[in-house]
Each structure stands twice: as C-alpha cells, then as structure tokens.
Structure 1
Amino acid sequence: MTRREVSERFKGSLGGWLWAVLIPLCMLVIYTFVFSVVFKARWGEGPESKTQFAMVLFAGLIVYGLFADVLNRAPHLVLANVNYVKRVVFPLEILVIVAVCSALFQALASLVVLLVALLVLNGKIPLTALLLPLVWAPLVLLSVGVGWLFASLGVFARDLKQITGVMTTMLMFISPIFFPVHALPASFQTVMWLNPLTFFIEQTRAVLIWGRMPDWSGWAISILACSLVAWLGFAWFQKTRKGFADVL
C-alpha cells in the first residue's frame, strides 16, 4: 500500500520520481533567498555562506515536512477509503501507518539530497549522522499518534481538513526552521521548546550538520512522551472506529 501510495503521487507526470527531489529543492532556494538575503537571518556568530545557511534550513524543513505531511493528510484517510469501512473487514489503523511511511519516503529523498550537499560542500558527512534513525524514532511515533487522532476526528468533523492547513502553516513559523532558538528572548525560548518539533529539528541539525551527539536525556523524555501520544492516539482511534460506518 505504501508503494502504491508513493507511485500515485507522481503517476502520469513527466518528471516522475524526480519531483520528490525537485519540489523540496525549489522551496529551499526560495526560503534561502528570502530569509538569508532579504531578512538577513544568521545561524552563527561569524560570517556564514548561503550554502551553509541553506543546509541548516533544509534540515529543519525535512523534519517539518514529514510531520506536516501526515497532519495534513490524516483527516482524509478514512473518508477516502469508505469501502474499507463498510464492505470489508480491514484494519483501518494501517491507513495512518501507510501515510507515515509515504511521508518518510519523501523525507528520505530530501535527506539524500542533503547528505550529498554535505559531502560536496563540507567534504565529509559526520559519523553522528548514523544516529539520525534514533533521533527520528520518537518523531515517527508522534506522527503516527497524531495521525490516528486526526484520522478519527476527520470522520466526525469534516471541517478539520480545512483547519489542518492553517495549523501546519502556523507550525512552520513557530518552529526553529528559519531562525535559531537562541536568537529569541529567553521568555520566548521557553515557549518555543514547548513545540514538539523544536527538539527534533535541533537534534537533526546537531547529528547531521554539526557532528554533535544527541541530547540523550531529552531523547529519553521524547521517546516516552511520543510513545504515550501514539498509545493514546491508537486507543482513541479504536474506540471511535465503531461509529465510522454510521457516520459515513
């Protein structure tokens, strides 16, 4: 199902699978110009090249894109598969897992581009990059849990699919994608760390670009919290799925 889902995204297009790489690159060029040239954003204290800024920016966009993709699609998942609800016995929770796997494919395609850029521009890829799957493990759990919650709510509240677009846009600008957390006043930094994506964006940059070890205490807290979100999301989905057929 994941393979079919990914194939249908690019089916019939001239670019085919290349769009998985070209679209993120186009957005990266636009964001890099706007924030590094127009708004003069900087990550370090010293001089910084546009390519370095772009790589740091791209790492944040990859993390955000993975979560936002799942969040935007979740309210449609059950509604788009009515036959699975009414006519066959089917484990509907798998629909969310398929959506997360599809989003992971897009994220991995972008990640390959970033790794190639690191190798070409910096001459090496830090060994800590091997720890990225561990860094992303809680993020995947969070995405699955939120996906189950929104997939269920989307059946009963059809307006939710309109709201998630606004939510993901807001999430983009309250996440440290275009600016570092330390650039904010201390009071705002505390609020920024309440955003669950902040930790994953910062840790992705740490292991991929700056060659630092992950914050293991923060990772342990995040794996527990995201596991709880996944469990609650699954419990909610299973409890409410009994009413799907009646509503649909």
Structure 2
Amino acid sequence: MTQLPALKPLRPAQRPQLRWRGARSVIALILREMSTSYGRSPGGYLWAVLQPLAMIAMLTLAFSVLLRSPSLGTSFLLFYATGFLVLRMFQEVHAAVSWAIGGNQSLLAYPGVTYVDALLARGILAILTQLMVSGIVFWIIFTIEDIRVIMDFVPILQAFGGVVLLSMGVGTFNAYMSFSFPVYKTVWSIATRPLMLVSGIFYIYEDLPLFAQNILWFNPLIHLGGVMRTGFYASYDPSYISMTYVCIVGAVPMFFGVLLLRRYAKDILYK
C-alpha cells in the first residue's frame, strides 16, 4: 500500500511588510498641516508671500529716507531681502518644528505615527513653503527694479542648507524643552526677540565696530546672511564666515533633542 507524501503544515498568512508606513505617515501629516495652516485662512499661501514682502518694503521705505544707498549695491529691496529672508526662514521652520509635538499630541496615540513623523512633517512643509516664498519675493524684486546681476547659486544653496540645519536642530531641541517645560516657550520667545536687530539685516558685519563684531560673530544667522549676500553681490567677499560653526550650532542641539525625545517618548505620549 503506497504512502501519501506528508503534507507540510500550513503557515498562517504573513502580513505584508509596511515598508513605507513612515513615509505615508509623514505625507499624510504634511497634507493635514497644509489644510490647517493655510487652508482655513482667507488667502492661504498668499499671506505667506505678502507678509515678508510687506516687511521688506517697510524697511526699504524707512531706511531709504535716512541712507543714500545700502551697504551693498544700489537696491534697498534686494539688500534687505537677502538678510530678512534668511531670518524669516529660520523663525518659521524653527517654530514649526518646536511646537510639532504639542500640536500633534493626539495623533501620536496612533501606532503608525511617531514624534519623528510629526517633526519631519512640519519641518518639511515649513522648508518648502519658505523656499517658495523666497523665490517669489526675489522674482518680484528683480522684476520691479529691473535688477541685472549674475547670481552665484552655490553660496545661495549653502545659505539655505545652513538655515535648514540650524532651524531643524534648534527646533528639535526646543520641541522637547517646550513640551516638558511649558514656561520654556515664553522664555525662548523673549530671548529671541532681538534677532531682528542682531542678524545683519540692516547692515553688513564689516560696518560694525570691533567690539560688536566680537559679540555678534557668535550669532550663526549673521554668518548665513553673509553667505547669502555673496551669492548676489560678486564684489562682496567676507572673511568672517564659518560654516563649520553654523553646522556645529545646528547639529549639537539636534543630537541632544533626538536623544531626549527618544528617552522620554513614552512620557510625551501619555502626558
């Protein structure tokens, strides 16, 4: 009597791996942030462009009365834009990342959403928005004043890359600090109010007296503003810039921010 071949035990159906679950979560959060941040207000993205444009126009109107010409070139609009847009991108990206956990705490209860997804979603949306705003503002300035310059895109991209690293790094650290210590948000807001005056928007580093240069050198935004301006002004060759310093100031808080968020992830989830 012939024996039938032994049947292999059936394995339970394996659940397909969700390799792109993290990417889908980030994309979904970006779409949610777009609708909540820009979809509910009249004008939406239009205000994101008009606000910096209005600020640059006000600066131009105020200082053109007092000064015959800016520190570089002949266009007040372009000079202030190259400094102000660097500061604004830092402020917007940093703020978006800093308050990402508090604004998405209810979503972190879902198993497919992590604090990393929340930080990346807000950071990516803010970065893309500010890059778009900067491009539109520069295009408007070049069109209005009929400016003809040969731009060097290498330092311009370096400046934007440095702003991204700096704002994401500081924002990641502040995301933990502001959520764990609510008073930290108020303290940080007060401490950073003078940034408009000390980030090289109205002047260049070389115009300052020596004692002011020695102090403001430690502000990474003044380095990034200088890098940005070298891309628009071929004759400007600053010697004070240190991108290594900027990268360190951005990388160190990012390291400790990620370390703290990972260490206290469960406390954040159930707080």
* TM-score normalised over the length of structure 1: 0.82
Larger Rg: 2
Q: Distance in 2 between matches of 1:183 and 1:217?
A: 15
Contact 2:198 2:216 survives alignment (8 Å): yes
Please name the residue that 2:71 is paired with: 44
Please name the residue that 1:173 is paired with: 197
Q: Indicate whether 1:197 and 2:217 are aligned.
A: no
3-state DSSP of counterpart to 2:201: coil
Q: Give, as a single letter, the amino acid of the residue that structure 2 aligns with 1:62.
A: L
When residues 122 and 35 of structure 1 are mapped into structure 2, their CA distance, relative to the original with a 3 A threshold, is: same
Q: Indicate whether 1:5 and 2:18 are aligned.
A: no
Q: Give, as a single letter, the amino acid of the residue that structure 2 aligns with 1:78.
A: I
2:84 to 61, 73, 91: 61
Contact 2:173 2:254 survives alignment (8 Å): no
Q: Give, as a single letter, the amino acid of the residue that structure 2 aligns with 1:218.
A: S
Q: CA deviation at 1:73?
A: 3.9
State the Cα deviation string for residues 21-45 of structure 1 (Å, max 9, x = none): 11211111122223332x5485338
Q: Distance in 2 between matches of 1:136 and 1:13?
A: 28
3-state DSSP of counterpart to 2:148: coil
Q: CA deviation at 1:197?
A: 0.7
State the Cα deviation string for residues 200-221 of structure 1 (Å, max 9, x = none): 0111111134476897982344
Which ranges of structure 1 fall in alignment gaps of 5 or more residues?
Answer: none
Please name the residue that 2:133 is paired with: 110
Q: Give, as a single letter, the amino acid of the residue that structure 1 aligns with 2:70.
A: W
Q: Distance in 2 between matches of 1:87 and 1:13?
A: 28
Q: Give, as a single letter, the amino acid of the residue that structure 2 aligns with 1:168.
A: T
When residues 227 and 79 of structure 1 are mapped into structure 2, their CA distance, relative to the original with a 3 A threshold, is: closer
2:168 to 126, 144, 163: 144
3-state DSSP of counterpart to 1:82: coil
Q: Distance in 2 between matches of 1:120 and 1:97?
A: 36
Q: CA deviation at 1:15?
A: 2.5
Contact 1:145 1:230 survives alignment (8 Å): yes
Identity between Structure 1 and Structure 2 (%): 22
Q: Give, as a single letter, the amino acid of the residue that structure 2 aligns with 1:180.
A: I
Which ranges of structure 2 fall in alignment gaps of 5 or more residues?
Answer: 1-28
Q: Give, as a single letter, the amino acid of the residue that structure 2 aligns with 1:237.
A: L
* TM-score normalised over the length of structure 2: 0.76
When residues 184 and 217 of structure 1 are mapped into structure 2, their CA distance, relative to the original with a 3 A threshold, is: closer
Please name the residue that 2:181 is paired with: 157
User: Which deviates more, 114-123 or 15-24?
Assistant: 114-123
CA RMSD of aligned residues (A): 2.9
User: Which deviates more, 24-33 or 194-203?
Assistant: 24-33
Please name the residue that 1:98 is paired with: 121
When residues 133 and 6 of structure 1 are mapped into structure 2, their CA distance, relative to the original with a 3 A threshold, is: farther
State the Cα deviation string for residues 95-118 of structure 1 (Å, max 9, x = none): 222222222233223322214423
Please name the residue that 2:43 is paired with: 15
Higher relative contact order (CA 8 A, sep 6+): 1
When residues 145 and 237 of structure 1 are mapped into structure 2, their CA distance, relative to the original with a 3 A threshold, is: farther
Structure 1 or 2: larger helix share? 1
